[in-house]
Amino acid sequence: MTEEDKLITTEDLSRWIKVKTFTLDKWAMRGKGPAFIMLGNRMRRYRVADVRAWMEAQAKEYVEALQAKREEREARHV
């Protein structure tokens, strides 16, 4: 098993990305946050590769939003 295939707990993810487990629970219920799998009824696990992909997507969305705001400001000042 590679590092990317490794499964981590909600607590592990919380420490890694500095987000409270409560927030991760809310995201999971709302279909937000990184993809996860359920082991049994209550054991949520995250693949490292899925978490990394989610973080990259979040960063891309953030940069795109900043660019859109900048373009909007520039258009108003022309």
Q: How many Cβ atoms sit within 10 Å of the Cβ of residue 55?
A: 13
E strands in 1-78: 7-9, 37-39, 43-47
Name the band, by pLDDT with cuts 50, 70 and 90, for residue 67. Answer: confident
Of residues 44 and 63, more confidence is placed in 44
User: Quick one: pLDDT at residue 78?
Assistant: 65
Q: What is the mean pLDDT of residues 44-66?
A: 93
Q: What would the pLDDT profile of 6-15 be if each residue is shown by its tens digit?
A: 999 999 999 9
